[in-house]
Amino acid sequence: MSSMTVTTWSLEQTSPSDLLPAATPEGDVRIVRAEVPSPEFSRFLYASVGGDIRWIDRLGWTYARWQEHLDRPGVETWVAYDRGTPAGYVELEPQDDGVVEIVYFGLLPAFRGRRIGGHLLSYGTARAWDLADRWPRRTPTKRVWLHTCSLDGEHAMENYRRRGFRLFDTKVEEQAEVAAPGPWPGAHGL
């Protein structure tokens, strides 16, 4: 099996004032929290956004595993809609001591390049900062972090930096090369 070199960058904000919001895109773009934990919807978002950029770690999750993850207090999914159609999402996961990770963020391929990503990242980051307002037993957020890698979209790192995220760690490793699965079997390359 062949391997490839993958660089992973970890970025953070340590104050709500670090957030540099993007402009709101034109048109009917709304961002709504998916308040009802739905494994079907979450898996759809995960596979549709990450299918062409090799998001594979959750593809083998069972329905029960998805439900268990989504039921954790403070885990939130914020979905961007363009004229009523899901365009992308941000998944937030609180950790200990007031830390919130932006675990997943991205757009479905058809919605990339429309200026929705910067707005969605800005909105999702703001929701990470005020997460304790919606989950009273959580410690107020002191740090928001995420990671991106060389397999992600070509504009990912630039978007994170433009929103005020700062690099705090870089790792380079060899990984087994895996074909991008696409959003469903047989869809890759369409």
Per-residue pLDDT 10s for the chain (190 aa) are 688 898 999 999 999 999 999 999 999 999 999 999 999 999 999 999 988 887 888 989 999 999 999 999 999 999 999 999 999 999 999 999 999 999 999 999 999 989 999 999 999 999 999 999 999 889 999 999 999 988 887 888 999 999 999 999 999 998 877 666 666 555 544 4
Give the pLDDT score at 188.
Answer: 47
Instruction: Provide the b/e sequence for 30-51 (b: ≥16 CB within 10 Å).
Output: ebeebeebebebbebbbbbbbb
Whole-structure pTM value: 0.92
- The residues with which 33 forms a beta bridge, in sequence order, are 78
Q: State in words which class domain 3-176 has.
A: alpha beta
Q: What is the pLDDT of residue 181?
A: 64
Domain ranges of the chain: 3-176
What pLDDT does residue 190 have?
45
Separation between Cα atoms, residue 159 and residue 154, nearest integer Å: 10
